[in-house]
Amino acid sequence: MVVIVVVCHAGNLAEARTLCHHAGIEEETPISRALTTASDHIDRLNAAIGRSAAWLALVIVLLQFGLVIARYVFSLGSIWLTETVVYANAALFLLASAWTLRTGGHVRVDVFYAHASARRRALIDLLGSLLLLLPFALVLLALSVPYAARSWAILERSQEASGLPLVFLLKTFIPVFAALMALQGVAQAARAFTALGQR
């Protein structure tokens, strides 16, 4: 097996992409450069949040393991710890979804996409982002902000007496999820638009 490594020396990510990735391709226009830079910033934000949230998977496994041992070995239960697992699970999926979208980890119906040319894939990504992802994310954001705000207004807590007093925080993850997905949709659309602009 032969591994080829290309190393570029550049001051920043956008410059490295220009030197390595677009070698031999016509020079980027100011608009495409701006779109690429904005997309890179969004990608870095979502990657940082997603990588941080990914540690919650370990928290979920350890807490759930502890709960099972406590229940079946010592006949002990904890609503507080059970709700903590639910909160961590919600945070993991809602905060890491945009990063997962960026890395291609979401389920994709591969009828047209798998064998399409790079240009057709860019068109599918652009239309999917503009017509499906962004409208969904923006509607969800518009509906979930008042929902979370009402919960914050009363500092909503668990209905269980010994549950977590942080339901308002759990509900906040919904508009955060919508905002991160909308941002990633903008980045995806920008990249697709840039790709379509290249010959």
Query: What would the pLDDT profile of 122-162 be if each residue is shown by its tens digit?
Result: 998 899 999 999 999 999 999 999 999 999 999 999 988 88
Q: Hey, where are the domains in the chain?
A: 41-197
Q: Is 18 within 8 Å of 28 (Cβ atoms)?
A: yes
- The pLDDT score that the predictor gives to residue 197 is 82
Query: What would the pLDDT profile of 27-50 be if each residue is shown by its tens digit?
Result: 678 888 999 999 999 999 999 999
Rg of the chain, C-alpha, whole Å: 22
Whole-number average pLDDT of the chain:
84
Whole-prediction pTM: 0.80
